Structure 1
């Protein structure tokens, strides 16, 4: 079996899909994307396809992963690792289809029958938190996640800290003690600011506090973990085992690799195993499309230290299309009491509506995150 063609499709709302075809008719799908840099990643996929993939045996997943990540003198970074991630997902999809088994069976078999999932409430400037959380409880979810704040001062004012606490209080009141909420700092806080903000959240017992500092300040993350009993999470902007190691050593409780950023199923499987040696749970980051979610679930069902799965159905970023719009059989992503059921189909376990993808390709403008500034005109973290 040989790879004969590699295609990419830029589809609404902000996703990039990869299709790999073989000479015996098998097709694998993946999702290689950096939010806001889809076209750049698309170019990287094409370069990798021309250099390493076309004509190669798709079953040599590990060898292809090695040469794609290490076959150039300059390596690493979000663009290359995301391009590799989507290709890796597609190669595993082909392997599962060739063997008639879901990917998680090829990785040792299932360790659970359902995976807990959470949904987002609110956007960049979260408001009306109580009503949004109550609606998700009514829909059957047992956990939600929200942003801690909008634009945040380098050293938070008392008013800003009060707003962070008020949102958490509203979420806890709507959820009660039996359900959970996670709160995402989004790297908007300085280290000192994060320590102060984590302190005001402790009475509301969030499931975890996410990305309290920027990834380039991972060497300072221990200051946050040492300051609180709350579980600290990070990982969506860390792209390899070597990237996540300092965070694990800093004492985080939850690691959040993104299977469309961190080298795909192959590398995220290794990242999860590394996290297990630190007694750290894994909660895959996934505000993306159906293939990223399908790949994440394959990891979830064969990973003992899996905690909870992010998913983007109904997320505020989805404008112009929804996750299920590109799926032929939507039942694979059905929810049961706040959980997603184990996929049993071959490969990634999701059947893509290829015609819908081809029709949607190129119909959306490139998405870029907002650019924020402080009142004095200086750049502010989004």
Structure 2
């Protein structure tokens, strides 16, 4: 956890929680980089309102750009803490400092995995629907043709059980460029909104239009890939993970995607409460409401001291906190 204190005694909070095996950086690398911050930040020209807050932070971080280039979790922590401070000074939530505030709520999606036995998966789906969740993302964990056939049967059962629920699928970049179109065609009768990252990150822009649209996740961290994907046929959505991209970069990509008619989804990386609150503010800051986002509370939060996340509401909703900054205070207070 990162805390920054300004001259008036305000405390801005950030969090760097890279996910082992997925994040390009590690917790140790982030801690070393953040420990070297005192004296390294550029001057922060405090804006009179929230419209230029993000630009002020970009300028302040310019001297650190090369140092943080390959440490997105650390950059996320620093950007979050600075926006929290500016929001408190201006009396605005972080979403407004990013230029948002046009809508009051965003729905969240549920999460299932085909590695669970089918009865367990269906039971969990029923519990999500009972909570008010209207979109469910399913991670396709099986491998090989037999595994895909099992996943397909499980998805058919899920669709029969919940015909009105929006389904999204995530292949985690495990399909080849040759087999992806065939598998997407087999999934079409189930009616998924899209399949996240069906092929390797550097290949996704080659996939083209298929029977089921696809979404970009890990590809967004590949240099030059977002620009290629905005031009690609078949790309339905950008999956924005600020812990993998940085908060300001995720916001920039979300705005660019929506301007091109590509949907956006904001999701956590099993972050802790501070980063999750920041991701919620990101979801509330885009030019138009994103699709239901992957911002539901998750089991990993149990490892943290209990801390209320003011943006999360019952019934599968993220709402504006109506508090300055992140609206979250640490348990050390």
User: Normalized against structure 1, the TM-score is what?
Assistant: 0.74
Corresponding residue for 2:252? Answer: 270
Instruction: Label 1:141 to 1:43 Cα distance change in 2 as closer, same or farther (>3 A).
Output: same
Deviation (angstroms), 1:38: 1.9
Deviation (angstroms), 1:82: 2.4
The answer on 1:64 being equivalent to 2:60 is yes
Match of 2:85 among 91, 94, 101: 94
Instruction: Label 1:295 to 1:217 Cα distance change in 2 as closer, same or farther (>3 A).
Output: same
RMSD between superposed Cα atoms in Å: 2.5
Q: How far does the alpha carbon of each residue in 1:72-128 deviate from its partner, in whole angstroms, 9 at most, with x for none?
A: 5xx733xx22221210011001000111111222233422121010121237x2333
The answer on 1:43 being equivalent to 2:29 is no
Deviation (angstroms), 1:184: 0.9
Q: Distance in 2 between matches of 1:147 and 1:189?
A: 13
Deviating beyond 3 angstroms after TM superposition, the runs of 4 or more aligned structure 1 residues are 55-60, 239-243, 329-332
Deviation (angstroms), 1:236: 4.2
Corresponding residue for 2:313? Answer: 334
Q: Distance in 2 between matches of 1:51 and 1:211?
A: 40
Q: Distance in 2 between matches of 1:61 and 1:279?
A: 28
Q: How far does the alpha carbon of each residue in 1:238-258 deviate from its partner, in whole angstroms, 9 at most, with x for none?
A: 238844222222231110121
SS of 2:178's equivalent? helix
Match of 1:148 among 140, 155, 169: 140
Match of 1:221 among 199, 202, 207: 207
Q: Distance in 2 between matches of 1:193 and 1:126?
A: 24
SS of 1:52's equivalent? coil
The answer on 1:343 being equivalent to 2:333 is no
Instruction: Label 1:41 to 1:102 Cα distance change in 2 as closer, same or farther (>3 A).
Output: same
How do 1:208-287 and structure 2 match up within 5 A? 208-222=194-208, 226-228=209-211, 230-236=212-218, 238-239=220-221, 242-251=224-233, 252-264=235-247, 266-286=248-268, 287=270
Q: Which runs of 5+ in 1 are unaligned?
A: 1-16, 356-382
Instruction: Label 1:149 to 1:24 Cα distance change in 2 as closer, same or farther (>3 A).
Output: same
SS of 2:326's equivalent? coil
Corresponding residue for 2:72? Answer: 81
How do 1:143-182 and structure 2 match up within 5 A? 143-150=135-142, 152-153=143-144, 157=145, 159-177=146-164, 179-182=165-168
Q: Which runs of 5+ in 2 are unaligned?
A: 21-25, 47-55
